[in-house]
A and B are shown apart, each in its own frame.
Chain A
Amino acid sequence: MSTANHPVKKEKSRLFDETGKRLLREIKPLWGWILLSALLCLVLIGCAVAAPELLGGLVDRLYAWVKAPGPGLAKSLLPGLGLLLGIYALQGAVTYGNSYLLNNVVSRYFCAELRIRLSAKLCRLPVSYVDKTPAGDVIDRMMEDVGNMADSIYGIVEILLTGFLQMLVIAVILFLTDWRMAIPVVLLSPLSVLLSAKMATLGEKHWDKHFNLGGELTALAEEAYTNYPTTKAFNREAALQEKYDELSMRHQRNGIFGNFLSAIVQPVIVFVDALAYIAVAVLGGWLIVHRNLPIGTVVTVIFFARQLSAPLERIAFGLSFVQHVKSAAKRVFTLLDLPEEHDPSGTVQAPIRGRVEFRHVDFSYDPDKPLIRDLSMDVRPGQKVAIVGPTGAGKTTIVNLLMRFYDIQKGQILIDGRDISQLSRAETRRLFAMVLQDTWLFKGTVAENVCYGSPEATRAQIEEACDCAYCDHFIRRLPQGYDTVISEDSTAVSSGQKQLLTIARALLADRSLLILDEATSNVDTRTELLIQKAMDRLMGGRTCFVIAHRLSTIVDADVILVIRDGQIVEQGRHRDLLAQKGFYYELFTSQYQI
């Protein structure tokens, strides 16, 4: 994807725009839990208010003792200390309980549920979406973006509940304790938040650049390491090193500013806090001397002042991630709202004979570039259709249309006289078995993979199909035989063997029509012969469509469709097409030219 190179346009949006409202709707089922969490937060605020008050009172008692010494000082402190211990214990327990609650709500009831909904959505999206969208993008939305959205719940709890409430309560108590000292504290604390927010935005620019350059750096490293043989073969190591070092240097330079600004946010808050602290000290000292203010009051104010910066930091923090929560949410909602495939519910009458007709079919992937125009053909039961043409000419388009991975735009495709657009997609697909060049196996045992299309097959049937497809002998040599776990990139089976397994899968599914994509490469000669034999066996008696790479297939096909630049330019039998001396003739003879 190239988006890494283009800085994402920042939208200055209000907190509750369309996405914000949608987000609130989405978390509706969780409101009960969030309210419970709010209650717990109230308890915490209570503790946060009570503790400094009590502690201030105790210190006051120490000062009182200095003025009027007497016995039993330590003992007189005990009840207050006990109460405080209880409050601290309660505070700890509730803090822990609240994060336990929120974690469960967020991970189990929000993220997991949203991911499951996205997964269900994938079932109903058209193949065209998956073809157009890089897998990494979908995965990003499902994992990364949903994870970021979870922050919105923490955000709501932090901003709306804990932050504002706590701040309000503390400000009120400060004024009640001593309004004169409360003024500088209440005025200075927001200043620290403002300053830190200002620095965060300042740093953001550098961070953005740093991240973008980081993406470029990763891409460069990836390219260099995968292209290692070519770099070496052209003796270009030094030039590449220079390029990498230069990019890495720019990457780091931007990092310095970003890091520096983030790092000094906290010291700046500490400094502003210290200003409040000094103001309280001066004012308090003056009040003690001239107005006989009890020292405990000053101490209490100081303890509260310390507590005030915490909710402010929280609010600043909460607001700062609203923006990225929303951009993540937008991406997730876009995926959730994508139009789904229309699916009629028609069914087919058994038995299927296997006649396939195309009547004046028009199709294109891109409305600007017409691809298939007015294609008509009539394939009788048991016939073999070969699709040939240069690489990238669009041979797989026919497969896409037959399997209804894509819908035709005009005309009709009929199977046994029935228009397939009237059938449900699953019903249409159930007519076909398909072996593609891109051998897809899922992570599971060999047996599970082979019976993918026919889950109710018995072990004996699986083994029989594998035997027919020349797989049995190598499967038995695998460490756990049919129960060996294999996957897409497993090295236990070769790519040729994977191809054979997909043939066994198609054989077991036993469908009336067949779509084959012949393998071209990465198979050794002997396996290739086996694959060919297995495919021949599979084709026996079925109507089949073969994307042909082998001349043997082409030569004895009943119909050859010659595709060039996505269009069917010629169709007919081998001999007739050669006689036409057209594109097919050129294609066929070119391989024998020096």
Chain B
Amino acid sequence: MRKLLVYLKPYRGRIALATLLMAVSAICNLLLPTLMSNVLDQGVYGAQEANTFGFILKTAGWMLGISALSLASVAGGYWVVYHVISGYTWSLRSALFRKVHTMTLAEVGRIGASNLVTRSTHDVGTLNWVISMLCGSIITIPLMFLGGVFLCMRKDFRLSLVIVCVVPLLLAAVLLMSKRIDKLWEISDEYCDKQNDLVRERLRGIRVIRAFDRELLAHGRITDATRVMADNIIRANVRMAIIDPMAAFVLNTAALVIVYLGGVRMERGSGLTPGDVFAMIQYINIILGAIVSVSFAIVMLPHVRVAARRLSQVTESTGLEDDRPARDLHFDGTIDLEGVGFTYPGSALPALSELNLHIGAGEWVSVIGGTGSGKSTLAELLLAFRDPTAGTLRFGVADAHAGPWDRMQDAAELSPKDVRANVSCALQKSMLYAGTVAENLRMAKPDATDGELWQALEHAQIADFLRQKPEGLNFKLEPAATNISGGQKQRLAIARALLKDAPIYLFDDSFSALDFITEARVRRAINERLAGRTRIVITQRVVSAMHSDRIFVLSDGALVGAGTHAELLERCAIYREIYTSQTGGGAA
């Protein structure tokens, strides 16, 4: 929590100014009942004097001025406060976003993309909202309370004790209750999520549900969940509904006590006036209004705690990527894996073990294997998203920048930025960004001409599709590219990878949504365009792999075969098994 407040530091001056303005307004509000009671008292005591009405008018003038000052200062206060809060929220969001992009892939995966989204949107939003709700009251309520007590004490010390006792008790009661309610809300939120999940599950499974004629069962499950959810919402709401009447009753009773004690003390001749009693009742009303208006914000306090805790999970994350600066190295395309192994933290079995591969510059190799064979882990190693936990992965470095070191450089010693600058990739999930096709492609080469873009699109077999669109290269992709098909997404991702000029190209399962005809065309175009560059195709389709120079077969994280298609068919049982299962065996 304290770490999150650091971002408030640049605003210290403005926070002080806002506090001052709020304080002025609070004091003004407190003066009003006192002035009013003066008017009333004057009406009684000074009825005989000639200038009584003049005095009343003068006091009224003061009241008007003070009210206007109060309004002006509170408006000014809020103006400053909201600038501070929005600046604070902005810097918090910006910092979170930056932080995520310094974390390792493993850390991002551990926290989860959807959780990270919740942190930067919902959690920051909650913090922002509650601070906005509370900022005014945090400053004014204690002031109202202290000022009210102070003014009461000036009127009558003992009477003021009633307020001194009651208000903190009431606040404590509200806080205590909010804690209980918080738990109830948590439960009802849980049921709400459950209900959402049920509906989502049902809509997704509509075909199966209808196929088996189980709509009534699905409906029954939702009906039950709805009733349970309603019960829980009611429980939380009803508990919360206690706060307002309770606060009102306690403070109104305090007012009655003051009237009574006021009577008693007047009788004893303590100098207390009826106007003083009246003013005190007004103070109680002011305090009551303040408490009621914050009671629901106080209920939000536990949410702030939760939000703050979740935010600091991100801001204090230590899973950071190697941030050594890039040296603008140029790779020559050779890749060496020597006894490379990788074990996920907390996992007993290695995802990759004892991998010995040498990929020469300009070679076209494929890596084939099923789910869990470790082929995606290999892709992550090649992109420096993870470092091998055993053995060494080396890249050949071509240029003079490399200095006196060995030509082959350990990936662990290189900046991840350098590795990524030299490996162009199309990944398993073809991740595209909302925006135009041109914007998406230029990620790979910011200064590419339209001609270059069209050429890459041509090679990826997607140019025809875009030519049919009136917008052409400026065809806009929706978030997550929902307005094009899976195959089109993959081809755009391939075009992007092709556009980048790099010695090494990595295609991680990026043909899976293409039909055989399109895939064959893409394959042919890639091989023409990228002749002489290192190409690594990671796939589970034997058709995608069988034509490459060499095929590596992975199974359970180990290399079980390497060679050409023909060699493997002869030597490698697992390869043969994959081939048979996918093609029906020798159908060629």
Contact bitstring B530-541, A, C-beta under 8 A = 1, else 0? 000000000010
Q: How far is the CA of A122 from the CA of B237 in the complex (A)?
A: 29
Which residues of B sit under 8 angstroms from A593, Cβ to Cβ?
A: 520, 524
The smallest C-beta distance from B347 to any residue of chain A, in angstroms, reads 13
- Across the interface, B44 reaches (CB within 8 A) one of A66, A253, A306, namely A66
19 contacts between A and B (CB under 8 A): A61-B263, A65-B267, A122-B218, A143-B196, A225-B113, A235-B420, A248-B93, A255-B89, A266-B293, A267-B71, A278-B60, A289-B52, A295-B44, A306-B285, A405-B210, A440-B205, A523-B370, A528-B370, A586-B517
Q: How far is the CA of A432 from the CA of B582 in the complex (A)?
A: 27
Task: Check B385 for interface membership: any CB of A closer than 8 A.
Answer: yes
- Across the interface, A122 reaches (CB within 8 A) one of B98, B219, B432, B540, namely B219
Which residues of A sit under 8 angstroms from B192, Cβ to Cβ?
A: 143
Task: Check A27 for interface membership: any CB of B closer than 8 A.
Answer: no
Q: Are A116 and B222 also in contact (CB < 8 A) when A235-B417, A295-B44 are?
A: yes
Q: Quick one: which of A570-594 are within 8 Å of B by CB?
A: 586-588, 590-594
Verify A391–B514 contact, CB threshold 8 A.
Answer: yes
Verify A587–B516 contact, CB threshold 8 A.
Answer: yes
Task: Check B157 for interface membership: any CB of A closer than 8 A.
Answer: no
Q: Quick one: which of B414-466 are within 8 Å of A by CB?
A: 416-417, 420-421, 423, 425, 427, 431-434, 443-444
Verify A58–B266 contact, CB threshold 8 A.
Answer: no
Verify B201–A488 contact, CB threshold 8 A.
Answer: yes
Verify A73–B584 contact, CB threshold 8 A.
Answer: no
Task: Check B383 for interface membership: any CB of A closer than 8 A.
Answer: yes
Verify A96–B242 contact, CB threshold 8 A.
Answer: yes
Q: Are A119 and B433 also in contact (CB < 8 A) when A88-B252, A241-B101 are?
A: no
Task: Check A35 for interface membership: any CB of B closer than 8 A.
Answer: no
Contact bitstring A79-90, B, C-beta under 8 A = 1, else 0? 001001100110
Q: Quick one: which of B201-239 are within 8 Å of A by CB?
A: 201-208, 210-219, 222-223, 226-227, 229-231, 233-234, 237-238
Verify A552–B207 contact, CB threshold 8 A.
Answer: no
Which residues of A sit under 8 angstroms from B385, Cβ to Cβ?
A: 229, 232
Most chain A beta carbons < 10 A, residue from B39, B198, B485, B524 = B39
Task: Check A483 for interface membership: any CB of B closer than 8 A.
Answer: no
Verify B248–A92 contact, CB threshold 8 A.
Answer: yes
Verify A235–B421 contact, CB threshold 8 A.
Answer: yes
- Across the interface, A108 reaches (CB within 8 A) one of B202, B234, B588, namely B234
Q: Which of B78-86, B337-345, B402-410 contacts A (4 or more CB under 8 A)?
A: B78-86
Please tell me the size bucket of the interface on B. Answer: 35 or more
Which residues of A sit under 8 angstroms from B516, Cβ to Cβ?
A: 390, 587-588, 590-591
The smallest C-beta distance from B266 to any residue of chain A, in angstroms, reads 6
Task: Check A461 for interface membership: any CB of B closer than 8 A.
Answer: no
Q: Are A116 and B223 also in contact (CB < 8 A) when A255-B86, A551-B583 are?
A: yes
Which residues of B sit under 8 angstroms from A95, Cβ to Cβ?
A: 241, 244-245, 248
Verify A223–B480 contact, CB threshold 8 A.
Answer: yes
Task: Check B359 for interface membership: any CB of A closer than 8 A.
Answer: no
Which residues of A sit under 8 angstroms from B42, Cβ to Cβ?
A: 285
A sample of 19 more A-B contacts (CB under 8 A), given A62-B274, A233-B423, is A59-B281, A61-B263, A96-B245, A104-B234, A112-B229, A119-B226, A222-B479, A230-B427, A235-B420, A244-B94, A277-B32, A277-B63, A286-B56, A289-B47, A298-B40, A302-B36, A436-B207, A550-B583, A593-B520
Q: How far is the CA of A411 from the CA of B285 in the complex (A)?
A: 78
Task: Check B126 for interface membership: any CB of A closer than 8 A.
Answer: no
The smallest C-beta distance from A459 to any residue of chain B, in angstroms, reads 19
Q: Are A103 and B370 also in contact (CB < 8 A) when A59-B277, A289-B43, A440-B205 are?
A: no
Verify A119–B263 contact, CB threshold 8 A.
Answer: no
Q: Quick one: which of A6-46 are within 8 Å of B by CB?
A: none
Q: Quick one: which of A501-557 are within 8 Å of B by CB?
A: 509, 520-529, 532, 550-555
Q: Quick one: which of B54-92 are within 8 Å of A by CB?
A: 56-57, 59-60, 63-64, 67-68, 70-71, 74-75, 78-79, 82-83, 85-87, 89-90
Task: Check A408 for interface membership: any CB of B closer than 8 A.
Answer: no
Task: Check A422 for interface membership: any CB of B closer than 8 A.
Answer: no
Verify B371–A248 contact, CB threshold 8 A.
Answer: no
Verify A139–B200 contact, CB threshold 8 A.
Answer: yes
Task: Check A493 for interface membership: any CB of B closer than 8 A.
Answer: no
Which residues of A sit under 8 angstroms from B517, Cβ to Cβ?
A: 390, 586-587, 590
Task: Check B253 for interface membership: any CB of A closer than 8 A.
Answer: yes
Q: Are A274 and B215 also in contact (CB < 8 A) when A62-B266, A92-B246 are?
A: no
Verify A107–B199 contact, CB threshold 8 A.
Answer: no
Verify B581–A432 contact, CB threshold 8 A.
Answer: no
Verify B212–A139 contact, CB threshold 8 A.
Answer: no
Q: Which of B114-122, B144-152, B177-185, B348-356 contacts A (4 or more CB under 8 A)?
A: B114-122
The residue in chain B whose Cβ has the minimal distance to the Cβ of A392 is B485
Q: Which of A160-168, A367-375, A423-431, A466-474 contacts B (4 or more CB under 8 A)?
A: A423-431
The smallest C-beta distance from B189 to any residue of chain A, in angstroms, reads 12
Verify B212–A452 contact, CB threshold 8 A.
Answer: yes
Verify B100–A228 contact, CB threshold 8 A.
Answer: yes
Task: Check B132 for interface membership: any CB of A closer than 8 A.
Answer: yes
The smallest C-beta distance from B31 to any residue of chain A, in angstroms, reads 11
Q: Which 4 pairs from chain A and chain B are nearest by CB?
A: A552-B584, A390-B515, A524-B370, A285-B56
Q: How far is the CA of A289 from the CA of B60 in the complex (A)?
A: 15
Which residues of B sit under 8 angstroms from A438, Cβ to Cβ?
A: 204
Verify A529–B75 contact, CB threshold 8 A.
Answer: no
Most chain A beta carbons < 10 A, residue from B241, B373, B547 = B241
Verify A103–B244 contact, CB threshold 8 A.
Answer: no
The residue in chain B whose Cβ has the minimal distance to the Cβ of A108 is B230
The residue in chain A whose Cβ has the minimal distance to the Cβ of B198 is A443
Contact bitstring A207-229, B, C-beta under 8 A = 1, else 0? 00000001001111111111111
Q: How far is the CA of A559 from the CA of B339 in the complex (A)?
A: 51
Verify A219–B434 contact, CB threshold 8 A.
Answer: yes
Q: How far is the CA of A115 from the CA of B93 in the complex (A)?
A: 36
Verify B204–A232 contact, CB threshold 8 A.
Answer: no
Verify A264–B75 contact, CB threshold 8 A.
Answer: yes
Most chain A beta carbons < 10 A, residue from B216, B267, B513 = B267
Verify B267–A442 contact, CB threshold 8 A.
Answer: no
Verify B547–A594 contact, CB threshold 8 A.
Answer: yes
Task: Check B25 for interface membership: any CB of A closer than 8 A.
Answer: yes
Q: How far is the CA of A224 from the CA of B108 in the complex (A)?
A: 11
Q: Quick one: which of B264-316 are within 8 Å of A by CB?
A: 264, 266-267, 273-274, 277-278, 281, 285, 293
